[in-house]
Chains A and B, each alone.
Chain A
Amino acid sequence: EVQLVESGGGLVQPGGSLRLSCAASGFTFSGYWMHWVRQVPGGGLVWVSRINSDGSTTTYADSVNGRFTISRDNAKSTLYLQMISLRAEDTAVYYCARGAPGDSVWFDPWGQGTLVTVSS
């Protein structure tokens, strides 16, 4: 079974840091682009970042560029999101998702999400 399990969320003060992890299983992790997408509770989805299969290419949404860093360890089948200089508006559930193969663009499956709360 293809599965993604996020961890690392929690309560952090404004200006603080947090590292999220996403453990993958059931598929060849090193063969896929991976993504982070966030959702404000009760709100819409917002794409955050992506990384290619070998980790050599990364892209970020403007809202997090320069503060978040996406990375992966293919030997451990794990995706990461390092977040620094956190702001109240970064409060959300963070999902990792597997990207589409080839040239298409879609996300499947998604992890169960991990909640990040930025508050003093």
Chain B
Amino acid sequence: QSALTQPASVSGSPGQSITISCSGSSSDIGDYNYVSWYQQHPGKAPKLMIYDVSKRPSGVSNRFSGSKSDNTASLTISGLQAEDEADYFCCSYAGRSTFVLFGGGTKLTVL
């Protein structure tokens, strides 16, 4: 199976909202509610931001939200802040043989 598809880059101004899409198939995103999103700043480890499509771990700002429709998952960040500038990766369970697929990552630039 191929990696999930994300836009290479998105940008927004402080205070605005942006949405990052993550396109998969009926064998991964479309078949399971196990989509997660990770934030990664340069030189740092990935950090879990959203799990089970739309749940936020303790400590993650409520400006981050997740959703899913058919074979596409989305991460929305509202009230953009400079500290949100980072790479974002989606991930989906894809069955017992493949286990999980990650997206190629989206670089968010806060203008």
With an 8 Å Cβ cutoff, the count of chain B residues facing the other chain is 23
In the bound complex, CA of A45 to CA of B47 (Å): 12
Interface residues of B in 79-111 (CB under 8 A from A): 89, 91, 93, 99-105
In the complex, chain A residues 80-103 whose Cβ is within 8 Å of any chain B Cβ: 95, 100
User: How many A residues are at the interface, by size bracket?
Assistant: 20 to 34
New A-B pairs, 8, CB < 8 Å, besides A45-B102, A106-B91, A108-B57: A44-B104, A95-B46, A105-B91, A106-B48, A107-B48, A108-B47, A110-B45, A112-B45
Is A27 positioned at the interface, with any CB of B under 8 Å from its CB?
Answer: no
Q: What CA separation (Å) do A28 and B57 show in the bound complex? A: 19
B91 x A100 contact (CB < 8 A): no
| Contact call B52/A45, Cβ cutoff below 8 A | no
The answer to whether A44 and B99 touch across the interface, beta carbons within 8 angstroms, is no
Contact (Cβ within 8 A) A106 B36? yes
A59 touches B99 (CB 8 A): yes
Question: Which residues on B sit within 8 Å (CB–CB) of A106?
Answer: 34, 36, 48, 51-52, 91
Decide yes or no whether A11 CB sits under 8 A from chain B.
no
- CB of B10 within 8 Å of the partner chain: no
Given contacts A44-B3, A44-B105, A45-B91, contact A105 B100 (CB under 8 A): yes
